[in-house]
């Protein structure tokens, strides 16, 4: 890929990773990008680096604009290794006068065994640095999604370089939001939020409020992953407000794993009951659906109904996986229910309920357990459960 000027004298110089398919448990089936930005001014500044394996792509892009040795400053918005993995090699090449980072950024870099002798300069919210004609203001964004995270804002350009906020894992040859399908872009942004930032939703709400109080004028948002929002920055800001308030729709998801199709038959019957109540319903068989796709659909679902056969007195492994993953991301204000089949013990339903209770879901029903295969009465009970949950959704989501 080649560098792209995104604002006068501000360039995208990052790397595109077409091949990555897993990002610590998140399915990146369409790859990702590691965005870095070069600012040309009296003090030439590089904002972030890239994953170690993509260092040559970054250096090549910078070299197409200037000699990398002419870079004066390095800004490290986020220390996670997809953004700082190439940093030591880049520092050896450019020998910057200063490396700007948050106080936690310096601490984390030292914890990653970056040299203590680097010219670190820590900055906090409200501080700024003059590059000449341009100024960079810093905003700490702790736990979005690491303790060290911060934004860099260029007021003259109304440009927010937003680190890991407002991004998407999506490898494209295009760099801007108006160059791709808007619906697909927002779907990738929703998946990113659901799987990375959902548990930090209260902090996202606070950040959006702080940005409003600070009166930042933003007409472009440049994240560290995915497309740059040059035409619709307000759309992603509004989406983050909605997602962080965990606004739900009249929608349910049914997530299940099955051994010999008994639990699957129950899932279909529950879905029939939900549909009878005019509830938008999606079914996810964990044999075929990745945990991160399930979480994306949960983002606006009011009810989560989980089913598992019992294996060795426990949940099936894929159900244990999704419940553990879901619990870590902390969806709030959901309705939950459990169902499943069993041979001779039947612990799975109770174990699912335990997870749902830990997530503080409203438990719609003690759950339905079926010995071996469901008969007509069992399937009728499942359908009735779907109807019951459907009515609860209608009452809670107007």
pLDDT tens digit sequence for 227-285: 999 999 999 999 999 999 999 999 999 999 998 999 999 999 999 999 999 999 999 99
User: Which pLDDT does position 1 carry in this prediction?
Assistant: 76
Where does the pLDDT of residue 326 fall: very low under 50, low under 70, confident under 90, or very high at 90 and above? very high
User: Which pLDDT does position 119 carry in this prediction?
Assistant: 96
Mean pLDDT, rounded, of the chain: 95
The pLDDT of residue 82 is above 90: no
Report the range of poorest mean pLDDT among 93-97, 146-150, 155-159. 146-150
Alpha-carbon Rg for the chain, nearest whole angstrom, is 24
pTM of the model: 0.94
**Residue 25 — φ and ψ, nearest 5°?**
100, -10
Region 3-18: mean pLDDT is: 97
The pLDDT of residue 30 is above 90: yes
List the chain domain ranges. Answer: 4-244, 253-396
User: Which pLDDT does position 81 carry in this prediction?
Assistant: 83
Say which CATH class 4-244 falls into.
alpha beta
The vertex-167 CA angle with 164 and 172, nearest 5°, equals: 130
Where does the pLDDT of residue 213 fall: very low under 50, low under 70, confident under 90, or very high at 90 and above? confident
Looking at the chain, the whole-number percentage of residues with pLDDT higher than 90 is: 89
CA atoms of 26 and 309, how far apart (whole Å): 25
pLDDT tens digit sequence for 94-125: 999 999 999 999 999 999 999 999 999 999 99
CA atoms of 22 and 317, how far apart (whole Å): 19
User: Which pLDDT does position 214 carry in this prediction?
Assistant: 86
CA atoms of 156 and 333, how far apart (whole Å): 41
User: In the 3-class helix/strand/coil scheme, how is 160-205 assigned residue by residue?
Assistant: EECCCCCCCCCCCCCCEHHHCCHHHHHHHHHHHHHHHHHHHHHHHH
Contact (CB, 8 A) for 263 and 231: no
CATH number of 253-396: 3.40.50.360
CA atoms of 173 and 167, how far apart (whole Å): 16
Which of the residues are catalytic?
Answer: 24, 78, 80, 82, 145, 164, 192, 225
Contact (CB, 8 A) for 205 and 332: no
User: Which pLDDT does position 269 carry in this prediction?
Assistant: 97
The pLDDT of residue 212 is above 90: no
User: Which pLDDT does position 313 carry in this prediction?
Assistant: 85
Cβ neighbours for 357, distance < 8 A, ≥ 6 positions apart: 363
Region 281-294: mean pLDDT is: 95
Contact (CB, 8 A) for 380 and 350: no
User: Which pLDDT does position 51 carry in this prediction?
Assistant: 93
User: Which pLDDT does position 314 carry in this prediction?
Assistant: 87
pLDDT tens digit sequence for 166-175: 999 999 999 9
Looking at the chain, the whole-number percentage of residues with pLDDT higher than 70 is: 100
Where does the pLDDT of residue 84 fall: very low under 50, low under 70, confident under 90, or very high at 90 and above? confident
Region 35-46: mean pLDDT is: 98
């Amino acid at each position: 890929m080649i560098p792209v000027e995104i604002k006068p004298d501000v360039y995208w110089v990052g790397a595109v990773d077409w091949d990555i398919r897993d990002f610590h448990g998140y399915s990146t089936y369409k790859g990702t990008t590691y965005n870095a930005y070069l600012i040309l001014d009296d003090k030439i500044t590089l904002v972030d680096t890239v994953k170690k394996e993509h260092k040559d792509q970054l250096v090549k892009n910078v070299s197409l604009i200037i000699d990398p040795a002419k870079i004066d400053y390095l800004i490290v918005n986020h220390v996670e290794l997809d953004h700082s993995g190439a940093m030591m090699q880049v520092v050896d090449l450019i020998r910057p006068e200063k490396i700007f980072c948050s106080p936690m950024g310096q601490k984390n870099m030292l914890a990653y065994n970056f040299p203590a002798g680097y010219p670190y300069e820590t900055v906090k919210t409200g501080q700024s640095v003059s590059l000449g004609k341009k100024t960079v203001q810093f905003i700490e964004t702790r736990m979005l999604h690491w303790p060290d995270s911060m934004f860099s804002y260029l007021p003259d350009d109304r440009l927010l370089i937003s680190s890991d906020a407002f991004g998407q894992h999506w490898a494209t040859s295009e760099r801007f939001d108006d160059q791709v399908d808007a619906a697909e872009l927002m779907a990738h942004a929703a998946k990113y939020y659901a799987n990375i930032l959902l548990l930090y939703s209260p902090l996202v709400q606070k950040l959006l409020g702080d940005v409003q109080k600070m009166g930042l004028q933003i007409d472009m948002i440049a994240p560290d992953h995915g497309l740059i929002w040059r035409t619709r920055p307000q759309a992603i800001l509004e989406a983050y407000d909605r997602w962080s308030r965990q606004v739900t729709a009249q929608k349910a998801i049914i997530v299940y794993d099955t051994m010999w199709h008994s639990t699957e038959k129950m899932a279909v019957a529950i879905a029939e009951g939900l549909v009878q109540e005019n509830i938008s319903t999606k079914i996810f068989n964990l044999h075929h659906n990745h945990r991160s796709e399930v979480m994306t659909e949960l983002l606006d679902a009011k009810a989560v109904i989980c089913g598992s056969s019992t294996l060795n007195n426990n949940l099936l492994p894929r159900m244990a996986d999704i419940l553990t993953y879901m619990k870590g991301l902390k969806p709030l204000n959901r309705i939950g229910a459990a169902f499943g089949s069993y041979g001779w013990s039947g612990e799975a339903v109770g174990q699912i309920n335990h997870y749902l209770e830990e997530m503080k879901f409203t438990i719609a029903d003690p759950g339905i357990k079926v010995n071996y295969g469901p008969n007509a009465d069992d399937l009728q009970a499942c359908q009735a459960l779907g109807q019951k949950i459907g009515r609860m959704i209608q009452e809670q989501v107007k």
